[in-house]
Structure 1
């Protein structure tokens, strides 16, 4: 019953889908800016909507980024066979301001672990 009510509330008018696409573009633009700064780092990223991964050729760096992000109040995790990918999975209901704050912390962590 709760799930059905949530579906009615969030997906009835298509607004959630539009919001998710807009937030996904926000993430992609931020990652493009980070990648432009990190040209020699062996960093690549891919994703869609609000599910993104940032892969590092220096595999331990992903764990270092996640650890530093945790210290700064941002919860990230790694994935991949050697934990070389930083996963971004923000909530579908994240506001643009909250997402900007998280992406700023992420950029800081990437810079600090370079």
Structure 2
């Protein structure tokens, strides 16, 4: 869910709006139910923190053997990525991962980062598999 604050003089009248930024009532209902389901206690929060640590450790295991500065782990928790010294490498890794069934995107000013941003509800098995595929893709690009 999002909130937009605007000045009173910018308030539009009926029919003056256009776009996807307006509220979608079924999305609000779904969002409310998701909040009740996933945030009724701290289970999801603790699980996300644990998985974030797991991802960081796995990415460090991938990056460290490559050499200092060649691949740098960036980000925090489940919102992280691998920053490649040679920007073109990130696109090659993303393609190699896709060829192996894993969809990752690149980011950064030069497209040098492979983003690793799984859903909060990712299972440990899915996480392990995704990281393994990413490691295979990096190995394939480097050889």
Q: Same fold (TM over 0.5)?
A: yes
Q: CA deviation at 1:10?
A: 0.4
Distance in 1, matches of 2:49 and 2:76, equals 8
The structure having more radius of gyration, on CA atoms, is 2
How many residue pairs get aligned? The number is: 114
- Which SS does the other structure have where 2:101 is aligned? coil
- So what's the TM-score if we normalise by structure 2? 0.76
Q: Which runs of 5+ in 2 are unaligned?
A: 1-28
Q: CA deviation at 1:40?
A: 5.2
- So what's the TM-score if we normalise by structure 1? 0.95
Matching of residue 17 in structure 1 with residue 42 in structure 2: no
Q: Which residue of structure 2 aligns with residue 68 of structure 1?
A: 96
Structure 1 segments, 4+ long, off by >3 Å, are none
Against the structure 1 CA distance between its residues 7 and 47, is the aligned structure 2 distance closer, same or farther, given a 3 Å change threshold? same
Structure 1 or 2: more strand by fraction = 1
1:3-47 alpha-carbon deviations (Å, 9 max, x no partner)? 111001001111110010011011011011112221156110122
Identify the structure with bigger relative contact order (alpha carbons < 8 Å, sequence gap 6+): 1
RMSD (Å) for aligned C-alpha atoms:
1.1
